[in-house]
Amino acid sequence: MTFNAKNALLFGLAFLAAALAPVGISSKFYLDVLTLIFFTAYIGQSWNILGGYAGQFSFGGVMFFGTGAYTSSILLITFGIPPILGIFVAVLMGAFLGFLVGYLSFRSGLRGSYFALITLAFAELLRVLANSVEFTGGGVGLFLTYAPGLKNLQFVSPTGFYYFSLFLLVISLAIALWLERSRFGAQLIAIRENEEAAEALGIDTLKCKLYAIMIMGGMGGAAGTFYAQKYLYIDPPISYSIALSVEMLLVSIVGGLGTVFGPLIGSVVLHVVNEVARHFIDTPGLSLIVYGVILIFIISYLPNGLVGLFRKTRGKKEDGGA
């Protein structure tokens, strides 16, 4: 993506429309749906940095989300540290976990399906630990007190969480735009295309992959804090849910791997289709069925995602115009 003046203008207008949306939307339902879309796009972008740009697919991205949720919640409940400070500790814990998992995996030469499975194993290990130790609340989980205020990152109106999720989304887009234009981003893409060739060119592939998974981990830690303060309850099945890991990678694949707006586009499509399907068919587990059908279609017919389809269509129009 070339972020020229035209794209900058469109991005600015889109952000302005999103910022003003609550003024024209009085329905709590629609605000909640938009909040969920932005939040899913944010966690999808965290996965996209490692999986889309660096080409290191992870099935256990939820481990950072869960660790962030527990970190900020335990700091609040046990030590009285407000989430507005706890979220920064959650980011650091997520980044540290990313470094630990990445170092153990990449240093051992794990890549491809082996890396994906080892991240899944780490996520399951953390779920079992959270279910077993006392300070996490064990299987009962942790209940947070409802105390609206900026320091607790809790809001009386859904508009507050809407802007919180929009803020996170903008941060994720800024990181992706930076990757598109930076040397580090170019190095990640080189690793994705051919890691051996990247090493031959003098790129420190271990360091680059570690940085990528640490960014993913930090973003996941912030996401966990957001979830905990919005829903005021966490437990191991929620915090380390494999379904959330699937959703993270799914929005990136549907929208377009290694693209700035792919996770956002994928999130919009998945949630809109899911809400429409739920309106007509009220069946438990329907969202997983919908996600599965969409994933099969995208992999079969649109391997570069919806962003790839847009670029292909625009390229044909330009060729036709020429």
Average pLDDT over residues 278-305: 77
- Tell me what pLDDT residue 125 has: 96
Contact 78, 63 (CB under 8 A): no
Place of tokens 């115009």: 321
- Tell me the pLDDT band of 317, cut-offs 50, 70 and 90: low
**pTM as predicted:** 0.92
On the question of pLDDT at 8 being above 90, the answer is no
Rg over CA atoms, the chain: 20
13-22, 101-110, 115-124: lowest mean pLDDT where?
13-22
Contact 269, 254 (CB under 8 A): yes
User: If you average pLDDT over every residue of the chain, what do you get?
Assistant: 90
Kindly list the distances between the CA atom of residue 117 and the CA atoms of 250, 255, 314, in Å, as whole numbers in the listed order. 17, 23, 37
